[in-house]
Structure 1
Amino acid sequence: MIKRAKIERTLLLFLCGLLSAGSFAIHGLMAGYNPVLKISNQRYDAQIVKPSKTSGYPIYYSGPYFTSSSSRTADSNSSNYSNDYVRVMQTKTTKTGTYAKLRLFNQTIGWMNIKGLKKATLTQVANATMKQNDVSGSALLASAGSKHTVIVNNGFANRTKKLANTSNGSVVYPLASLQKSMTAAMIQQLISRGQLTPTTKLSNFYPQIKGSGNITIKQMLSMTSGLDNVDIDPSKAMTESQAYASMVKRANATGKTTFDYSDANYVLLAGIIAKITKQSYAQNLQTRILNKVKMTHTFIVDNGKAPSTPIALSYTRNGQTDYSSYQTASLPRLSAIPGAGNLLTTPSDYYQFILGLQNGAILTAQQYQQLLSYGSVYSGGLYVTQKGVKYNNGSFGGQNYHSGYFATTGNYHLAIVFENQDPSNMTPKAFVKKMYQVATYY
């Protein structure tokens, strides 16, 4: 009896297997299964063609194997992705056509007949991103290191004069807090040459600041010194010496050692550079950085001297109306913060500095790593909270200037964005990160 039961059970399993296989075959026929004839792993950027009112190419969930009208689709006529830019990750050819596997930023959205796509370039994707978000400014993106960079611009630096935003040096932008990494790099040079140590006390240079005996260079580099200050917008431009004297009077040591962002740290670091070298911060910046990496379109605001190159205006929109009002960059305001935001430059010039931070022109790779080791949130003018990524943002309260840098540690993927009118639908910081994502995924 036991033996007979086993035979019957085996027979039953066999019959079930046949039924299952038959069901699969019937399902395949009903769904229009197509064997793959050819595969290509060549990747490229593309734009989804806007479908007509009556038709468009479907986006299929899983491969080009089932392409009948009854097949399950992610988007029946691609209308949800109309005009979107995508990355083609792979193509497969069947008897019904060639289908592309599509990635939108970092998410795979499905497969689509390549007849519904048109090839695009990184420049087109970046340009479209600026226009779609109504950003006025200039941006430099690196998609795969320094040999694969593009520069895109949108809007006006001066609408009345029809002066377009650009990174070619015919217009400059306030660098704001992105300058802090320059100041930090020069401090790192002095540390590497034994002229300063991370544990050197602020009191060695500015003993008149209460609590300076408990503040180290390392803490100033990482914004954990407890220094705080009230920002000023002087009516007249300041010299470097006047700016340092003003900051010494305004600086307040709270005694806290948690992260607290304050320009006081970097203005005083600029003053320390001047004291140690017996030369002004401006002279050091010119010889140690600007000349080294050929930043020929960068201007130091010192004593209120205006550059010969036009400065982009800061614009504000009114609802959907762009450039409804504007403000000019206050040179006295910039002159009050040497080392922390008294530079005017372009994305292209700043990119040369970013490269020089690691290639030996300004710092060696080892010195750069030390620069990033002083804090867990912020170190050496850069935020270090995300593993493998470094970033910083700069702005001036009450104005719509914004400078942003977001990149992998080795700058393989990178975005440098200077804005003179905020995006219409996100924060300026969020837009810099979005441009970084464009550089990463396209």
Structure 2
Amino acid sequence: MLLAVIGTVGGAMYWHQEVLRTQQIHKQAEARKQAQALSSEESRRQAKVNRTAPKQLSTKSSKQTTKVTNYLKRNHFVGSALIVKNNRIIYRKGFGYANYAARKRNTAKSEYQILSIQKSLTAVMAMKLITQGKLSLNTKLSKYYPKVKNSQNITVRNLVDMDSGLVMNQVGSDKLLTEKDVVKYATDHVIAKSPQNRDWYQPVNFVLLAGIIAKITHTSYGKYFDKTFTKPLQLKGTGFVQHWGNRPNRTLGYHWLKSTQIKQNYDKQYHEAAASMQNELGTGQVFMTTWDLYKTEQHILRGNIIPQVSVTLLHQPGGNAPYGGGIYNQNNGIRSHGIGYGYESSIFITRNGRSGVVLLSNDYRPANAIQDLASKLFDDLAI
């Protein structure tokens, strides 16, 4: 009798172990299946990225390249220029110095702060979450930051269009804060005004948006940025200014000496505080090469990051037309622009992503802004 009981118990234990072993095998098989599916999807996406990459032309001189070079020199441009036409790179060149003291010149591979152009990328990161059903353009700010005054009447759409009416008396704390504390500082110090407030272009909108992105993804804004852009697009000259360090292609920003200054100078270097680098969360803390910037905006427009229908929805002009979703709409494409810390950035690109102009400078002069130069070169593409 005892043997029978032992045999029964032993058989039950063996059966239970077999069930667990079978379940584990099924789980492992399902995990491998999911990994293979993700790998296959990643391969398809990467193949699409590679197929749509512009072809690079020979760097041999031509009448067109000479004309562009003379135009930029005549207008005392300092920085790097990139021109793409019909998916072919027709111009890449650096001007002036990346580091004047070391006599290091700007090249096609030089890295610059893109400043407010980052807003267009933050908006796409939010839109990616919307396409995944994790967020909505109609989601109220109060869902994530209820303490912000009037947050129950402010939507994600208001944030990406910067017509929320939210402003701050200063950019952020003078102390070096963590990403989470930068957002907390913003929520503690933001002021709610009328959406029609003339000072509508306020960085705090994208600081809060970056905070929402981090909350939903359960990771930092920086890590999600890398997951969305840096890694899948294989961006080699892109990163955050907090980690710029002594990269070989880094540029230094130079400050104009007087507001009427036309010609370049290297007499005064701009030194950005570490605190300000953190305070620019989601709105102006990324550096890029001209090629990385063009490549990123191109793949956005072509639906390689989010569906094209979502791009169209995101870029619709908001309450302060023609601005919408981090970019400015115009008849022949879109444009984006940034200024700060001695840098100026400008990109003009057609909506199909096949043609455009990128100018990045490390010697901003208000009397000779590169935005006008980029606009003229873009119009001259005669697209």
TM over 0.5: yes
Contact 1:226 1:253 in 2 (8 A): yes
Deviations 1:59-118 (A, max 9, x none): xxxxxxxxxxxxxxxxxxxxxxxxxxxxxxxxxxxxxxxxxxxxxxxxxxxxxxxxxxxx
1:158 aligns with 2:99: yes
**Distance change in 2, residues 1:204/1:425 (3 Å):** closer
Please tell me the root mean square deviation across aligned C-alpha atoms, in Å: 2.3
**Distance change in 2, residues 1:219/1:308 (3 Å):** same
* Correspondence for 2:213 among 256, 273, 293: 273
1:409 aligns with 2:351: yes
CA shift, 1:176, in A, is 0.5
Q: Which one has the largest radius of gyration?
A: 1
Contact 1:243 1:338 in 2 (8 A): yes
CA shift, 1:237, in A, is 3.2
1:246 aligns with 2:207: no
Deviates more, 1:180-189 or 1:386-395: 386-395
Q: C-alpha separation between the residues in 2 aligned to 1:163 and 1:389?
A: 35
Q: C-alpha separation between the residues in 2 aligned to 1:321 and 1:262?
A: 29
Q: C-alpha separation between the residues in 2 aligned to 1:207 and 1:427?
A: 40
Q: Does the residue aligned with 2:265 lie in a helix, a strand or coil?
A: strand
* Correspondence for 1:395 among 320, 332, 339: 339
| Residue identity in the other structure for 2:122 | T
Say which structure, 1 or 2, has more relative contact order (CA 8 Å, 6+ apart).
Answer: 2
Q: Which residue is 1:292 aligned to?
A: 232
CA shift, 1:126, in A, is 2.0
Q: C-alpha separation between the residues in 2 aligned to 1:439 and 1:329?
A: 36
Q: C-alpha separation between the residues in 2 aligned to 1:374 and 1:423?
A: 29
Q: C-alpha separation between the residues in 1 aligned to 2:272 and 2:106?
A: 15
1:324 aligns with 2:247: no
TM-score by length of 2: 0.76
Deviates more, 1:176-185 or 1:315-324: 315-324
Unaligned runs of at least 5 residues, structure 2: 1-60
Q: Which residue is 1:256 aligned to?
A: 195
Q: C-alpha separation between the residues in 2 aligned to 1:131 and 1:252?
A: 44
1:361 aligns with 2:304: yes
| Residue identity in the other structure for 1:124 | T
Contact 2:173 2:185 in 1 (8 A): no
Alignment of 1:30-429 (within 5 A): 120-142=62-84, 144-168=85-109, 171-232=110-171, 234-257=173-196, 260-301=200-241, 304-309=242-247, 311-316=250-255, 322-373=265-316, 375=318, 376-384=321-329, 386-396=330-340, 399-422=341-364, 426-429=368-371
Q: C-alpha separation between the residues in 1 aligned to 2:106 and 2:145?
A: 41
**Distance change in 2, residues 1:316/1:279 (3 Å):** closer
When you count helix as a share of all residues, which structure comes out higher? Answer: 2
CA shift, 1:156, in A, is 0.2
Q: C-alpha separation between the residues in 2 aligned to 1:245 and 1:279?
A: 16
Deviations 1:171-199 (A, max 9, x none): 42111000011110111111111111111
| Residue identity in the other structure for 1:408 | T
Q: C-alpha separation between the residues in 1 aligned to 2:69 and 2:128?
A: 38
Q: Which residue is 1:103 aligned to?
A: none
| Residue identity in the other structure for 2:113 | P
**Distance change in 2, residues 1:163/1:438 (3 Å):** farther
Q: C-alpha separation between the residues in 1 aligned to 2:382 and 2:93?
A: 16
**Distance change in 2, residues 1:258/1:393 (3 Å):** same
Deviates more, 1:132-141 or 1:323-332: 323-332
CA shift, 1:241, in A, is 0.8
Identical-pair percentage: 27
Q: C-alpha separation between the residues in 1 aligned to 2:335 and 2:270?
A: 27
Q: C-alpha separation between the residues in 2 aligned to 1:272 and 1:424?
A: 34
Deviations 1:120-179 (A, max 9, x none): 43322222121100111111111x2222342121100111111111232xx421110000
Q: Which residue is 1:71 aligned to?
A: none
| Residue identity in the other structure for 2:149 | K
CA shift, 1:317, in A, is 5.5
Q: Does the residue aligned with 2:138 lie in a helix, a strand or coil?
A: coil
Contact 2:339 2:364 in 1 (8 A): no
Q: What is the count of residue pairs matched by the alignment?
A: 315
**Distance change in 2, residues 1:237/1:347 (3 Å):** farther
Contact 1:221 1:266 in 2 (8 A): yes
Unaligned runs of at least 5 residues, structure 1: 1-118
Q: C-alpha separation between the residues in 2 aligned to 1:182 and 1:207?
A: 25
Q: C-alpha separation between the residues in 1 aligned to 2:366 and 2:219?
A: 44
Q: Does the residue aligned with 2:186 lie in a helix, a strand or coil?
A: helix
Q: C-alpha separation between the residues in 1 aligned to 2:300 and 2:343?
A: 25
**Distance change in 2, residues 1:218/1:148 (3 Å):** same
